[in-house]
Structure 1
Amino acid sequence: MKTAAVVAGLAAAANAHATWQYLWRNGEDLGSTCVRKVPSNSPVEDYTGTALQCNVNPADAEGNCEFAAGDTVTIEMHQHDTRSSTEEAIGGAHWGPVLAYMASVEDAAAATGAEDFFKVYQNTWAKAPGSTQGDNDFWGTKDMNYNGGKLDFKVPADLAPGDYLLRAEAIALHAASASGGAQHYVACYQLTVTGSGSLKPTDTVTFPSAYNKTGPGLGFSIHAPLDSYPAPGPALIESGTESTPQLLTFGTIESAPAASAAPSTATKPASSAASATPVASSAPASSAPASSSAAAQTSAAAQTSAAASATATAVAEPAPSSSAAAPSATASSPAAEQKYTIAEFIAFLEEADAADSSATSRKARRHARAFRV
C-alpha cells in the first residue's frame, strides 16, 4: 500500500460526523419512532441561533415513546443512516463528553426546543494511566464507540409524569481551543413519562445560552495534558445518572493487544446506570439487545471484522509504553498490532516502501497518541 492512499483514508476518517437516530427502553428497541431526525450529520458550531436546541431543521417525529420513571433509556448514534456495527458511531477521533437533558413540556410534539432543560446524564472524562494529553484519556464518545453507538442511563425515578423532550448531545473537542471550536452533535426525542413522582427540577437552562464557545469544558485544547474536566452546562440533577468513562474495562476487543485496564473477566456495561446494555448489532431494528457481557463480545466481533479488512489497525490505549516494535503493515496478525500516530504510521509505510528496494528496515518511533483507522 502506498502512503498517499493511507493519507486519503485517514483524511476521510478525520471528517467523520454522526447523528442520534434510535432509542431503547429497558433493552427494547424502539427504533426511530420518537426521534426528530436531522437532515445532516454535520455538527452544530453556532452559539447564537437555535440550532443548539434540537439541531438544524429536524424532521417531525412519528410520535412519543412512553417511559416509566426509573426506566433505562438508551440513546444510539451512528455516522450514517445505518446501524452497522463495523463502523465507529462517531469517527475521526472526535473525543469528548456525552450528555442528556430533559425538558418538561405540555405537548412533546409541539415543543420547539426553546424550553427549560435540566441535565439527567453525563459521561464526560477520566484520566488514563500515564496519559500526557487529553485525547489519550477516557471520554464518553470513546465509550459510545466501543459499545456500538449506545449509551444508557435512567429516567429519574422521582420525575413527575408528563410529556418531555429528551435532548441527547455528544461534544467533539478535537478541534477545540481557547478561542472555541467545539462541535455539538444534538438531537431531540419525544417522550411521555408515567409514574407517581413529583420532581420538577428548577436548575434549568435554555439553549444556546447554556453554552459559551470559550466556556468551561469547551474553550480549551484536548491535546494538552488534563488533570480535570468541567462538564459543560448546568450541574447534573440529584437523581440523574453520572457515568465515568471506562473504555476497555467491561470487555476486550478480540485479537487486540491486552491492556492493563481491560481484564478479560470484566463485564461492566458502558454505563454504570444499568445492568444491561444493548448489544452492538447489525440485526434488524426489531431485535432485542443482550446483556452487557454479550454486548462486549458482539462489539468485539465487529471490531475484529473491521480490523481484518483494514490495512493496519490502531487501538485506544489507556497508558503509553516506553518502546514498541514497528507495527505490522497488515492486520492479519493480531499479535503484531501496535499503537502509533498518523505521522508515525505514514513514516513506517515510507520506510516499508524503502525496504522493498533496499532491504533496510528501521523502527517506527512510538508516541502516546493512538488512532483507530
Structure 2
Amino acid sequence: MKLSVGTVLSLIAATASMVNAHATLQYINDNSDVVRAPPSNNPVMDVTSSDMACNVNGGTPKSSVLTVAAGSSVTLEWHHGGRDTQAIDPSHKGPVITYLAKVPDATTATNPASLKWFKIYQDGLSGETWGVDKLVANNGKYTHTIPSSIPSGDYLIRSEIIALHAAGTYPGAQFYMGCGQLRVTGGGNANPPTVSLPGAYKGTDAGIQISIYYPKVTNYIVPGPAVFSG
C-alpha cells in the first residue's frame, strides 16, 4: 500500500510525539534534590536488565535525603519534560507502582539492582480507569502512605509506570522507573517480604505481555509481589 506524503508526515509527527511523551520521576513531596534522575526519559523494555531497579542513572547517589515520618503521605510527581508538561502521553495506559528498599545510607547506596525491594503501593485497572489515567488527570502526581510499621532508617523509593499500549508481544511493555532517597523516622519493627529487581518480573507475566485493547481488558493483574500494607 502506497502512503501519501501527508500520511507519512502524520505518522512521523505521531512517532515524535510518542517519544517526547515518555516520562521521568521528577519530584517527591515537591523536592527534586533527592531524585536520582535518569539521563533520558526513555523506557526500559528488558525485564532482566539491571536498569529495572532504578533506571540507567539510578545507581548515582544524590547528596540529599527527604525525611518522612512512618505512616505519613508522600507525593510522587512525573512529567515527560519540564514541570509544565503532562505526566506521560495518555495513550501509555497501565499501572502505577511504588517500592521501597532499605539501605544503610541513601546518599551512598549504589548498585540498586542488588537491593531487596518491597511493594507499598499499586494502582492498576479499576473499571475502565488505569493508574496512568489518574496520574495524567492529577498533573503527574500520585499520593500514598509510607507504611507505619517499617523500621526507621534510610530507603530508596522506587516509583514505576508500566505502559501497556504496545504490550501484546514481548518486548513491548515500556517500564518507566525512578528512584529517590528517603529517611524514615518513627517506624516500627516490621520485616516485609522482599523481591529482587530485576527478578520480580518475567516477560510472560500476565500483567506484562498483554493486549489491553483487543479484546479489551476488564481484569488486570499488576505484576510483582503483593502490596505490603504495614
Query: Normalized against structure 1, the TM-score is what?
Result: 0.56
> Which SS does the other structure have where 1:99 is aligned?
strand
| Higher RCO (CA < 8 A, seq sep 6+) | 2
Q: Which of 174, 178, 181 pairs up with 1:183?
A: 174
1:14, 1:92 within 8 Å by CA — same for their partners in 2? no
For residues 51 and 8 of structure 1, the distance between their equivalents in structure 2, rounded to whole angstroms, comes to: 29
2:162, 2:175 within 8 Å by CA — same for their partners in 1? yes
Normalized per residue, the structure richer in strand is 2
Instruction: Name the residue aligned to 2:136.
Output: 145
Matched AA of 1:11: T
Q: Where do 4+ consecutive residues of structure 1 move more than 6 Å?
A: none
For residues 83 and 186 of structure 2, the distance between their equivalents in structure 1, rounded to whole angstroms, comes to: 32
Matched AA of 2:106: A
Instruction: Name the residue aligned to 2:73.
Output: 72
Instruction: Name the residue aligned to 1:209.
Output: 199
Q: Which of 15, 18, 24 pairs up with 1:14?
A: 18
2:104, 2:154 within 8 Å by CA — same for their partners in 1? yes
Aligned-residue RMSD, C-alpha? 1.8
Instruction: Name the residue aligned to 1:23.
Output: 28
Q: Deviations over 1:9-67 (max 9, x none)?
A: 4333233211101110xxxx22x111111101000012223100110133432311100
Query: Normalized against structure 2, the TM-score is what?
Result: 0.89
Shift of 1:7: 4.7
Shift of 1:158: 1.6
Instruction: Name the residue aligned to 2:88.
Output: 90
2:120, 2:146 within 8 Å by CA — same for their partners in 1? yes
For residues 54 and 172 of structure 2, the distance between their equivalents in structure 1, rounded to whole angstroms, comes to: 19
> Which SS does the other structure have where 1:148 is aligned?
coil
Matched AA of 1:144: L
Structure 1, unpaired ranges of 5+: 129-137, 240-373
Shift of 1:95: 0.6
Identity %: 41
Structure 2, unpaired ranges of 5+: none
For residues 220 and 100 of structure 2, the distance between their equivalents in structure 1, rounded to whole angstroms, comes to: 23
For residues 196 and 11 of structure 1, the distance between their equivalents in structure 2, rounded to whole angstroms, comes to: 46
Instruction: Name the residue aligned to 2:43.
Output: 43
> Which SS does the other structure have where 1:40 is aligned?
coil
2:101 aligned with 1:103: yes
Q: Deviations over 1:255-283 (max 9, x none)?
A: xxxxxxxxxxxxxxxxxxxxxxxxxxxxx
Instruction: Name the residue aligned to 2:226.
Output: 235
For residues 187 and 11 of structure 2, the distance between their equivalents in structure 1, rounded to whole angstroms, comes to: 56
2:157 aligned with 1:156: no
Instruction: Name the residue aligned to 2:165.
Output: 174
For residues 152 and 92 of structure 1, the distance between their equivalents in structure 2, rounded to whole angstroms, comes to: 19
> Which SS does the other structure have where 1:235 is aligned?
coil
For residues 40 and 98 of structure 1, the distance between their equivalents in structure 2, rounded to whole angstroms, comes to: 19
Shift of 1:222: 1.3
Matched AA of 2:89: G
Larger radius of gyration: 1
